């Protein structure tokens, strides 16, 4: 099972276009949320499922790894399997992408354009805001 978990993580990492750097992630406490940009989905055993509203979704669960793909992302992937996606993750031992969606649905009007550079820029801004909040919390705990 441990080898399956590592294989899934390697497969997923091959699809990451942007992730916070290791130094930033090291500051985030366990369970902290952050954003990555992916190109398509990894070749994992995703299962078709339904959202709470009954819309088509995908889910992958194996060991410490969990990925939930929202309906809009499923539709984008049906049109183009290498669609750009935004993964919202929690820092854990495994991969916990508690939802994966399209950039437009994730960022809304705060996204300047659908260009990859703008998507990565917005993801970087969000992770930077999270980093500031984490540092502020940590500073408050040490005072």
119-125: long-range contacts, CB 8 A cutoff, minimum separation 24: 119/18, 119/37, 119/84, 119/86, 120/17, 120/18, 120/37, 123/18, 123/35, 123/36, 123/37, 123/86, 124/18
Q: pLDDT tens digits for 19-43?
A: 999 898 888 888 899 999 999 998 8
pLDDT value, residue 116: 96
pLDDT value, residue 143: 53
Q: pLDDT tens digits for 81-124?
A: 999 999 999 988 777 888 899 999 999 989 989 999 999 999 99
Q: pLDDT tens digits for 62-92?
A: 888 889 999 999 999 999 999 999 999 998 8
Whether pLDDT at 3 is above 60: no
Whether pLDDT at 141 is above 80: no
């Amino acid at each position: 099972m441990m080898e399956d978990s590592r294989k899934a993580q390697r497969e997923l990492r091959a699809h990451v276009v942007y992730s916070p750097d290791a130094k930033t992630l090291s500051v985030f406490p366990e369970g902290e949320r952050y954003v990555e940009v992916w190109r398509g989905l990894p070749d994992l055993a995703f299962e078709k499922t339904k959202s709470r509203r009954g819309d088509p979704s995908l889910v992958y669960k194996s060991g410490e790894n969990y990925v939930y793909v929202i309906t809009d992302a499923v539709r984008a992937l049906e049109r183009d399997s290498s669609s750009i996606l935004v993964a919202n993750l929690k820092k854990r031992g495994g991969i916990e992408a508690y939802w994966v969606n399209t950039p437009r649905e994730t960022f809304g009007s705060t996204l300047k354009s659908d260009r990859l550079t703008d998507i990565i820029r917005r993801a970087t801004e969000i992770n930077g805001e999270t980093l500031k909040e984490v540092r502020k919390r940590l500073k408050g705990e040490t005072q």
